[in-house]
A and B are shown apart, each in its own frame.
Chain A
Amino acid sequence: MVKTTKKLSTSDPAIQNKPKLSLWNFWVSATLLKLLLIPGYYSTDFDVHRNWLALTNKLPIKQWYFEDTSPWTLDYPPFFAHFEWFLSQFVPRWVQQDGCLDIVETGNFGLPTVMFQRITVIVSELLLFVALQIYINKSSLSERSANFVVASSIVLSPGFLIIDHIHFQYNGFLFSILIAAILAAKHQRYLLCGFFFATALCFKHIFLYLAPSFFAFLLRVYVLDFSNFKFKSYYDLISIVQWKNLFKLAGVVLAVFGVCFAPLISQWSQLLTRLFPFSRGLTHAYWAPNFWALYSLLDKVLTLIILKVPYIHKCLTQIIAPPLIPATIQEIKWKLQQYNVGTKGLVQDVYFVILPQIQPKLTFLLTLFYQVLAIIPVLFSPSFKRFIGSLTLCGFASFLFGWHVHEKAIMLVIIPFSFLVTSDRRLLTPFRLVVSAGYVSLFPLLHESSDFLLKLLYTLVWSIIYFLALRQVTKMSSSVQRRVFFFDRFALFYIIMLVPMVIAVQLLDGLKWRYSILQKFEFAGLMIYSIYCSIGILSSWVGLSWLYNFDEPLWM
């Protein structure tokens, strides 16, 4: 046996040297680690999902979106509710007795419920492994190892570990559908792509942020055909539309939406208010590290400066007309008293003292503007890479400028970006910036001291492994343009400084009882997190946008 093996290996070195590249080992080790996390901290999202399990199990479908015994009402689209219903069929008797399926105001449950729900997360995440394994197996030999690195970086992502397995959500499962859509796009199975993306939307509507990019890409590659296009009159525009494809795609997408929403069509207004709660504030419980975090920092700094040096206010009012800026110092002081900002970061509605207030409409327009900028190149030349680029930028735009953004939404940026990063070494710097700042910005989700070392060490080791691995599998720059070394070094410095930042904030938190000044700035830690991370994410966006818009060879 041994002899034949050797013969085989000598006669065909390619066979011997070709690693299998399966995610199996990663799955085993990751799952074992996740099992150890079962007794750990979970957030209120755990009770949210438990409540959904209970209400989908106990109530008929018509009442799902009306039930409001618990404050944690169902606010995901119907497919996810069906998914919860499906899970609830597997609740064993001893878990039911634990209170897992009771519709109550706040859940009253013990370890069995925790075990059950944590295991559903682990099991449902299998889909992510399967999707990525298919991605690896279907990739060509030349890019196989690079794709393997990408796939394993996603399955081991600290984001999923923190959000799904400690904080508690089902992102691993939900993102597997999105990844399936991306895979279908990669292999030119556009109908399948449309199907998967529509399904993903019906599971979690946050994927709407990525919809413009999918729409533009599918429209351009599947529906429109410019190959024989010659403009003679406006009638010719009709001929560029491939009507058969259009109907097929529309049929698939509408069928998915139909299956999803048709049973609830009579209560569409209730459904809409549940899915799109516009009554919420500009920022989530803690400021997501986006543009608005920097905006409010600027506001605070300006307030401080103007109150200290009133002369500056005088100069400013010369340039800027008063409605955009408070007319007098008294008004600023009055506003300060009114809103009592300055120390609190944890308010649902943020008011700005000096700078203009932000309306939902504005954030919506800003997001849409940058998304349109991102999809225009796709319309001109729809390569897969460009599509992924636009997808990432759409995620960025919604994260940076959106209304009521969760810090968890950074996964919408990181996951598409992962599929892009191996194509060029210059993309590495923006990628590193966004993953490190993005994952670190998730840390405040786990505020318990027991998770501190775990989240820090896991993210650290993930970064060491994948920064190294990605550098090795990415191709050298395809264009002759010189890399800006200064920017790279600076980014590296920024990333390294995240570690002392995290430790310092934790220490500040630990020493809060000792110094009253720290108590006064109770939310200083969260502010430091969101501002420091927003710098990284914003610069990553700028870097990627630059390459996306001005570096032609990269995207062909």
Chain B
Amino acid sequence: MAAADKFSKESFFASPLYDFLSPFRPVGNQYYAEYVIVIFALVIRCAVGLGSYSGENTGPIQGDFEAQRHWMEITTSIPISQWYWFDLKYWGLDYPPLTAYHSYVLGKLGALLNPDWFALGSSRALETADLKSYMRFTVILSEVALYIPGVIYFTKWFGIKRRQSPIGTYIAAAAILFQPSLILIDHGHFQYNSVMLGLTVYAINNLLDGFYGPAAICFVLSICFKQMALYYSPIFFAYLLSKSLFSPSFNIPRFISVALSTILSFCVVFSPLYVFGGVKNVLQSIHRIFPFARGIFEDKVANFWCVSNVLFKYSQNYTQQELQKLSMYATAAGFLPAFAIVFLYPKRHLIPFGLAACSMAFFLFSFQVHEKSILVPLLPITLLYCSTDWNVLSMVSWINNVALFTLWPLLKKDNLALQYVVMMILSNWLIGNFSFCTPRFLPRFLTPGPSVSDVSESYRRRSFLPNNLLWKLIIVTSYVAMGIIHVLDFFVQPPKNLPDMWVLLNCGLGFSCFALFWLWNYYKLFTMRNTTFSAF
């Protein structure tokens, strides 16, 4: 009886994940659960990697796969002073230096196996099965080294803090590791987002443990891997500043250590560029990293500018500079409340909410956003799978589905439709979101439901929907709309004068869901500002 009560408090009770992991509940077996989760997560990543990557077999100018390969080619073959200058028309390096170093190491490793893969010039647009395997392998390696241990540490920290059962924390970790969007973008489309996100998770972990200097270093490294991590920076800044200034009291050593480690790690990362190319080289890299010359949004993306552009053509009414300013003000207005709350109430359980609010504001309102940038706000949101609050879990699972949905046009272009469908079903099914369609009319031996765990026969798991009726309505409506858009996209030709009709609908729906979630997130942040950890 008491046991049943305890179990039903577990957030993913009676979901397939719970079911699979419940044999590991005995203390002697817990040791294995972690490895089993991680290896299965890797197996799924390998299997997704069998699919095509961006621009596979499409001709000379290809997608991100060729970009990453090309960077390995140039970093291993030409001196550092030329990295940010070399043939900028053809996938010139436009990520911060840590990406370049990462490419350098992986390129050198790959050249051990086959030097043709990264030979300067001759390897352009090279596509062989072995090269693909190697590149896929490097993504998995990077993720195993950074993202996965970070996530597991995070879930364990929360689990211990909340006296959750170890299996509960492993289930949360598995739910986070099976997040479909990151898997599809990194291992399908091909990018190394897990490195940036992994470093950010390390920074969060260090904040949780109260190691402020290391947190600053990890976060700087994250920015230096991919500038998109800047979406998080106001919150890290607010938290570190407030911890140094007045909570609990003014702490000079901490302040100095944070400031020094931030500055020093930036210096260390950029120093090779300076040493081998002087100031000009550093400036060129920064110029490459922040391409303000580009438009306010690229392609179709579910943010404010792209969606409202349908009604109001920005490019006709404003100059590029005006638009930049406008987006800057909008973004600042979007993240400042989160900044203020985190600054005034630097509580550890507020960190994921604060990061989510802030990075979502950047995603919705800032300049030059890609559809893939949704991964940035999605990270702190997904980390909230550690929560035990049904409403929070429901919102997280919902926004994960919306985010995956907004990636559909991109994945369709990459021929990853199968992987998209499978990952959508798998991730939702694992956390128990399909429990509503449990067919009870089947014979008993086929009736699905928990198969290994000791969930009582009559227990019926709810799908993840919040308790609030309004939210229930919104979420169900959005799912229905997604279904309709998919059906339209599959069966109906868009009107001739609006060839991007379905993509725009996709973006519109995505934007409204993100905006609603963002408001909810703010509400949560505001109401939780005075709570203690146990309320989370």
Listed in ascending order, the chain A residues whose CB lies under 8 Å from chain B are 1, 4-6, 8-10, 15-26, 28-29, 32-33, 35-41, 133-134, 136-137, 148, 448-454, 457-458, 460-461, 464-465, 468-469, 510-511, 513
Contacts and interface: CB of A to CB of B under 8 A. Distances in A.
A519 to B, nearest CB: 14
B133 to A, nearest CB: 4
A36 B160 CA distance: 35
Nearest to A450: B133
A457 B47 CA distance: 11
B49 A457 contact: no
Contacts, number: 141
A500 B520 CA distance: 51
Interface stretch (B15-23, B75-83, B521-529): B15-23
A61 to B, nearest CB: 35
Given A461-B40, A464-B35, A464-B39, A24 B426 contact: no
Contacts of B422: 32, 35-36
A32 B419 CA distance: 10
A460 B39 contact: yes
B17 to A, nearest CB: 10
B44 A36 contact: yes
B125 interface: no
A450 B50 contact: yes
B27 to A, nearest CB: 13
Residues of A contacting B: mostly = helix
Given A33-B43, A454-B47, A457-B43, A19 B130 contact: no
A41 B46 CA distance: 13
Contacts of B446: 22, 24, 133
Nearest to A467: B32
Contact of A452 (B23, B43, B133, B458): B133
Given A450-B129, A453-B137, A19 B452 contact: yes
B277 interface: no
Contacts of B452: 19, 21, 25, 148
Nearest to B116: A513
Nearest to A115: B418
Contacts of B426: 29, 32
B51 interface: yes
B54 to A, nearest CB: 15
A454 B51 CA distance: 13
A9 B456 contact: yes
Interface residues of B, number: 55
Contacts of A24: 446-449, 451
B42 A453 contact: yes
Contacts of A38: 418
A133 B445 contact: yes
Contact of A449 (B133, B429, B447, B448): B133
B42 A15 contact: no
B16 A464 contact: no
Contacts of B1: 6, 9-10
B132 interface: yes
B48 interface: yes
B43 A458 contact: yes
A24 B439 CA distance: 12
A6 B4 contact: yes
B61 interface: no
B345 interface: no
A465 B37 CA distance: 11
User: Which of A8, A16, A36 lies at the interface centre, i.e. has the most chain B CB atoms within 10 A of its CB?
Assistant: A36
Interface in B80-138: 112-114, 129-130, 132-134, 136-137
A28 B136 CA distance: 26
A32 B454 contact: no
B46 A465 contact: no
B198 interface: no
18 contacts: A15-B456, A18-B454, A19-B451, A19-B453, A22-B449, A25-B452, A39-B52, A39-B418, A41-B50, A448-B133, A450-B132, A453-B42, A453-B46, A453-B137, A454-B43, A461-B35, A468-B29, A510-B114
Contacts of B455: 19
Contact of B425 (A32, A37, A452, A464): A32
A461 B47 CA distance: 15
A38 B23 CA distance: 30
Nearest to B114: A513
A133 B442 CA distance: 14
Contacts of A451: 50
A32 B418 CA distance: 10
- Report the 9 A-B pairs with minimum CB-CB distance, sorted nearest first: A36-B47, A449-B133, A461-B39, A40-B50, A24-B448, A454-B46, A22-B451, A450-B133, A510-B113
Nearest to A27: B448
Contacts of B458: 1, 4-5, 8
Which of B46, B446, B449, B456 gathers most chain A CB within 10 Å? B46
B260 interface: no
A549 to B, nearest CB: 34
Contacts of B197: none
B335 to A, nearest CB: 38
Nearest to A138: B445
B299 interface: no
B140 interface: yes
Nearest to B446: A24
Contacts of B35: 461, 464
Contacts of A29: 16, 20, 426, 429-430
Given A16-B4, A19-B450, A133-B445, 12 more contacts: A8-B458, A22-B449, A25-B451, A28-B429, A29-B20, A32-B422, A33-B43, A33-B47, A36-B47, A453-B137, A511-B113, A513-B114
Contacts of A9: 1, 4, 456
Interface in B389-420: 418-419
Given A449-B134, A464-B32, A36 B445 contact: no
